[in-house]
Chains A and B, each alone.
Chain A
């Protein structure tokens, strides 16, 4: 069957299922950004002074920066003065004590998203720190985690209750001078998640954060910091959706991971921000800085991302392999459909001896989607016997989709070893016809082929989310793949 057949088109053009708007009263700042706004954000959140100083320093740096142009994505200039930098549901200003205090409208929203907090709490054993616009709505399982000594709370709460811990690690992996969007985030970030796993503790459950942009014209700038002390392990999953709006919304988050000796952090993302309509109108600009630091020996950081949403995705979850024998992993599926653009990949910076990294990237482009893998593997002079294996596969659906690969490799140590493999293939009419000639309908065939292509990555997700990811791919490709 031709990829332009009606059923294929229909599949591609299915509606975004998370596009509802929640009607709650919000405490919203007027649009615009200046030092005064930053001071107000900080005082609204009753932050310690060091935080305000950091925000202001970041802001003063940011105003000297220009929007970077190197990514393989196109969008009109963003007017940063038209963005609202703080928006909080009003009754939550002081933060809910428990689920009963949460605005029922918000809880309904989560239910529509399929993450009823009560259910989560009682049934699933997944702790959820739900971020609704700029304020963390409810944090479940806090007590159980506390028994194990694990701190898992909103970033604002962490700033109030554990300021020294935050101060010790905050900005050590992603300094505000890192890039344009990291600087912006550092100046205006509103909330996020904080997780601290003490020495020797295996976090007793999967941690999970659902972010949701609700208010119109609101930028979401969340900040996540995860610290795994010596010999500890933690697995963290974030999922993202946003309502449908005609205008583009900016999402510029920063995630920092710190793994000390023998610690392991597994960070999985299922990103399904609103991608814009089929003509490319609206959708989230997802410009995110994610980086992990393997600070200690034998530390391990693993990124797994399933990227199906956003009008534009621009992110490179990276690992700095500082500790000897540390390990970095990056497993990615990025799907672009309609007019979506993704420029994503990773950086593996090998500093220590015997450091190892693996990069597995699967890019899928359908419709007029544009998918770019951009990666850097760097072996510093001290990275003796460092090893990297990279594999980038691209799958094209239809004749108008595009795939690009830009791998950079810098090796400054003779004993280091870097391998790179890449492939580009197409779900061809041949494959589809073969499946259909066996009685398998077109949509089922596409779904089967796509899932086969992504299988290696899905395997890396926590079990319960692997199924979700598979379904998400089906929804995102509806009408698309054939």
Chain B
């Protein structure tokens, strides 16, 4: 197909050139060679001048560009083989399939069952190509490419074979595209435009299949299923749940859960994306919009610390759905269910107007001018050491910077981010980052998880660990409360006691740690809240030193953070001066902080809540300043590996809300301590002074690892077991707690987990 278009284009351009070059009329009139005075209008000049057809020199066709800009990495030159795709020679590494070779050659092969991240099934037969000296067309996705193979993708035989396959696929596929949610982004729809017939020869009844109940997220219309088994392979290979399977044979074949049960995976939403037809679609998105009405905005997810790349699809001022974006280093092409389905929380419980709590305890809406004046006055009436600021989970780097600058100018340095605990270690970046990086997990052969349940804390990290385990049979050891893993693991113990045993070399696990080549130790950020966290951290560091986890070429000591704001807050130095400042606070500035325990705040303290959702802390607030959510602003978020990424606004802000840093900037002017930045560039210049790595978007600045890790652990260690950090996967922050879909999920799915 590719060659055909290219050849067509070449002839067309040369024909046009010829027409233009021979146009002036007087040439023809004056020229003695013209046979007659009049000349008929002809559309094919070649017929007039027989030698013109042979005139243009056949240009060599441009080198083929791979499909989707894919790059081929040939690690060993001796393993490279050469195949010919439609006559073009292509160099590919050994072991690639014919389909992959065609992709490298820039020929897109139609496919349904083949997915580059799943195992090869080869059951849809849509990818048939002709191979020279092969008697039949071959399924290119399952056929390994052999040296010197001559692959033909646009021959009549290949086209006819695909048309035949398409006819059989459409035999039992309902003609309900007008009411199908996949309509417009359906592989079957697209490919039937190329290979489908305009009428069917099948006069019997179409079969119908009973719909399965896969829970509140995935809607099934099983009659539309073409049995590509992508969902089955995804569930068993990536998500690690054995829920889905194939039942029956022949025309009775259907996808199902065998017994009635829900799909209990935190990645279940991805089957919606990989389903090539409309058999699995999004339940919350059902019949809400068509995909061509939607505007896509590529942005960053903030519901966990991984910073998955997402695309927010919006229609007008409304977020309609969230889809993953490809990022090989972070989320590949998957996202967690929380990321995908929390978007309806953006529409509920929103703070839209500045509000002041009157003397009767009731909130009433006021103007920004009045609200800021009240806050500024209250801040000025407080002693500087009693001013405290707390930054919430979803704050971006700009607003954290602005809040810290503002409170510093007010004379206070008590500003921190929730979840970081007391005395956070912000001096060395390697102490709070995922140093191995998510993609670096692929090389690991041993994982030690300390107080971290990655399946609920960071599902994308968990998926990467699982991928590594599947690929290299890496071992996983786990210290913490018993939880559900979707891979084999060795449960060493529940509390810090086990950790000490390993650090002192008394535990049987030490031998496997020492024998591991690339061990990875992951410390959950949940231990930051513990009183004995310094001891635990130094114990982990001792283990790291002892097991040679941190080496110049292998950085295996990791901290898995929980919140989107955590890494940036530590980079910006949001470290409180005093530990117990919340007990003595008289002026408390909460910037989206909903998970702080406000019981200890004195009753006469003036609490400002700036945020986008009326969640937990607004009930204690004296004044509410509405801010914009992550889908409505541009802001820098640093993920747990230290990779700074920026969100982009998909929808306008609600009501009278403003961007976080703009509110603080305006407040500083009202308060008389002028912050010197008026736009995003200016505040980013300020961030560049404090943490320049935050401005290097999509890049990970590797932390410098101190050679001498703190070896000794002293101090008391509590006997209590590590806690479960994330109690409810589906509800962790203000947005997800406001979401109805997430509430449904936690009601139906968490129970079964």
Real binding pair: no
